[in-house]
Amino acid sequence: MSDSSDASTNRKRRVIHWDPDHGRANGAKPWTLLRIVGWTLGGTLGLLILAGLVIRGVRLVVGDQFLRPTAAVQTVDETDPGQVFVSESKASLARENVAKALAEIRRLPQDHQSQLNQLILIEKSFLDGELLLEGRNYRAAYAHFTTLGREIDAFSENVKLKQSTQKAYDEVLARMRELDRARPLAALEFETAFASAGAGREFYLNGSFATAKKQFDDAFAALDRAEQALKDFVDENMRTALEAVAAGDKPRALASFQAALEKDPANEIALQGLKRAEVADRVRALILQGEAYEQKKEHALAAESYGKAFELDAFSAVSQQGKARNERLKKETELNSALAEATTHRDAAQWDKAIAAYERALKVDPKDEKVKKALAETKETAHREAVKTALGKALAYENKYEWEQARGAYAQTIELDANHVEAKDGYFRTGKMIRTLMQYNKLVDIAEAHAQRAEFQAGIRSFNEAMEIKPAYLAMTDRVSQLRNVLNLQSKPVDVTFQSDGNCWVSISNFRMLGKITSQTVKMLPGNYEIVSRRKGYQDVLLVLQVRNGSTPPVVSVACTLRANR
């Protein structure tokens, strides 16, 4: 600002040089070009050395991946708390996962020296990672624990491989012992299995578990071939034995079953086969007998023969099938026979026989829906025809005035069809007619009895009642005609003359008092009468008088002539 003022006023300016060292010793060296270059090169070299030392130290702490071009290093802003927290949390999480995995593999058996050495290295590496985490070098710790996690996974797989290899070795030995009976049948395969098992054992002891596993697999393959040879031998003998059983060759069957059991003692089929072989000849004879009956279509006998064979040998498929087949054919034959018989009877309207035949068919096959339907239809038709027949019989009897038979036929119709209107009407109609005829006959009998007792008037009344209810169709029998003639004849009065002495009282019992008469003629209907004569002081006189038409009119004399005893 003072300089500006001087310039504006055009005053003279005085320059003052500030040099605190001015006046010091004049021995100081001046800065030449060579000196400047020397100091520059020396400083650069010193900086390079210092940088190398720093980088070396960082690598010792962080690891060899520091400043490598292939490593992807994430730049973290140390002033950003969020980024620092993320790095720390990732590293802590990685450490926690590794700790859990390490705890798991510690529980795994490490009975092999190579695995034990590897576990020691893993434990040491885990401690190194914890040092990085404590030193807040989170990126290096995260990378370290991630790599260690992969190593632990590989170690775990290796332990599992070792265990499976050990198991495979044990199984190979057990299987070789189990298949020892196949050695004579597959000697080469057994030698191969022994060689592969031995080589696998060596690889296992050296820690080459994958190679050992492959050798054991080769041993298994050889033993599989040996087992197949054993199986083929047993199968061949079993096939021969079963063919011998089917042919009834007992000695050959026994020999083949025994050969199979020598190589396979637990073979259930062979053990059962020995029992089958003992009866093979008898079973074969029964089967041949059954086949002969079957050819003759005598299925019942064939089923019986096959059944006996099956009882001896419950595993004989031929016997079982033959029995089942002939029982089925027997049923079919019986069924077809019953159906044919039913059809014949049905066509002839012999319903009872047709129903019986259908019922026999159902006993043969209770589930045959067609037979059930045919039986139901036949029963329905039989019922309808039975109703029709019973009604026809009733009408026929009624037309012939055979009322008892007609009523019975109507009753039968009602039993078959309780709602049959015509049958009900006929039943009541015939019943009424039967009661009428009974009443008619009863009245005729009564009239006849009256006539026999000379009670002609009562007889005439009964006879007339009978004639009133007599059916128009009913003709009079000779007996009734004679009775009618007798009653007609005795229906007219007869002149009867009575004579007395004029001193006696004369009366006709239940008819008329004549009084004291000497002679009197009275018209009297035919019948039996009692004539009484009474006189005081004299004994009564009683006479029985029979009055009849067709004879000379009687003259009755009656008088009391005997004195009464005092």
Task: Go through the domains of the chain in sequence order and give each one's CATH number.
Answer: 89-266 (no CATH), 447-489 (no CATH), 493-557 (2.60.40.1120)
Residues 10-29 have a mean pLDDT of 43
Q: How do residues 266-279 score in pLDDT, each as one tens digit?
A: 888 888 888 888 88
By the 8 A CB rule, do 207 and 159 touch? no
Contacts for 129-138: CB closer than 8 Å, 24+ residues apart: 129/95, 129/98, 130/95, 132/61, 132/62, 133/91, 133/92, 133/95, 135/61, 136/88, 137/61, 137/62, 138/84, 138/87, 138/88, 138/90, 138/91
Query: Which of 104-118, 388-402, 505-519 comes out lowest in average pLDDT?
Result: 104-118
By the 8 A CB rule, do 222 and 190 touch? yes
Contacts for 217-221: CB closer than 8 Å, 24+ residues apart: 217/168, 218/192, 219/172, 219/192, 219/193, 219/194, 220/168, 220/171, 220/172, 220/175
CA 225 to chain centre: 46
Hey, what are 47's tokens? 């900086």
Helix (H) or strand (E) segment spanning residue 6: helix 2-9
pLDDT band at 456 (very low <50, low <70, confident <90, very high): confident
Of 115, 117, 218, give the one whose Cα is nearest residue 172: 218
Residue whose token pair is 């119709």: 413
Helix (H) or strand (E) segment spanning residue 54: helix 33-62
By the 8 A CB rule, do 203 and 212 touch? yes
Q: How far is CA 390 from CA 348, 356, 379, 421, in A?
A: 18, 21, 16, 14
Residues 448-461 have a mean pLDDT of 88
pLDDT band at 36 (very low <50, low <70, confident <90, very high): low
pTM over 0.75, yes/no? no
51: pLDDT strictly greater than 90: no
Percentage of residues of the chain with pLDDT beyond 90 = 28
Cα–Cα distance measured from residue 506 to residue 558, given in angstroms and rounded to the nearest whole number = 8
DSSP of 338-374: HHHHHHHHHHTT-HHHHHHHHHHHHHH-TT-HHHHHH
- 111 — phi, psi (to 5°)? -100, 15
509: pLDDT strictly greater than 60: yes
Cα–Cα distance measured from residue 118 to residue 102, given in angstroms and rounded to the nearest whole number = 12
Residues 504-529 have a mean pLDDT of 90
Residues 120-145 have a mean pLDDT of 83
Residue 192: CB atoms within 10 Å:
18
pLDDT band at 41 (very low <50, low <70, confident <90, very high): low
296 in helix, strand or coil? coil
| Average pLDDT in the chain | 81
Residue 139: CB atoms within 10 Å:
20
Residues 129-134 have a mean pLDDT of 82
Q: How do residues 535-544 score in pLDDT, each as one tens digit?
A: 998 999 999 8
Residues 425-449 have a mean pLDDT of 93
Percentage of residues of the chain with pLDDT beyond 70 = 83
By the 8 A CB rule, do 495 and 518 touch? no
